[in-house]
Amino acid sequence: MLTNRKTIHVEWGDCDPAGIVYYPRYFAYFDNCTAALFEAAGLPKHKMLKAYGIVGIPMVDTRARFLAPSHFGDDVIVESSITEWRRSSFDVQHKLFRREVLAVECSETRVWAVRSTADPDAIEGQAVPQDVIARFGAPQTS
């Protein structure tokens, strides 16, 4: 299974007045880390959208556990991987480390989304192509 590691430097604008990362910023970090994971699999987002005719991989569920704070000036490392593939959705796990301490765990469920044929203003899930799944070293789905 492919795991991507991304280093993030915590900027002042990421923090609350106490210099601690403001919790919504973690979700922005994790969204960027999901894009980096796909890029590591040879699927940079701008090319993936065009090649597969999708509108994106929107998040439909997320949750996080905050275990230790990160501060202005810290360099943190996020390890990201896909833990489960389903027909049109998949789960991504992120682990953020400050030094060697696990500071935040996050899980996301995302959908391989296309424009709806029934309603062009809506989107719907579509089966994730097997060649995409194979890029992550995952077994083929049925």
Task: Report the C-alpha gap between 79 and 46 in whole angstroms.
Answer: 22
- The pTM of this model reads 0.92
- Look at phi and psi of residue 95 and say left if phi exceeds 0, alpha if psi is from -120 to 50, else beta: beta
Letter string b/e over residues 104-137, b meaning 16 or more CB atoms within 10 A of that residue's CB: bebbbbbbbbbeeeeeeeebebbebeeebbeebe
- The residue type found at 44 is P
pLDDT digits (tens, 9 = 90+) for 21-35: 999 999 999 999 999
From the candidates 16, 61, 75, 131, give the one annotated as an active-site residue: 16
**Mean pLDDT over residues 85-99, rounded?**
97
Domains defined for the chain, CATH in brackets: 3-134 (3.10.129.10)
pLDDT digits (tens, 9 = 90+) for 34-67: 999 999 999 999 999 999 999 999 999 999 999 9
Residue 16 is among the residues annotated as catalytic for this protein? yes
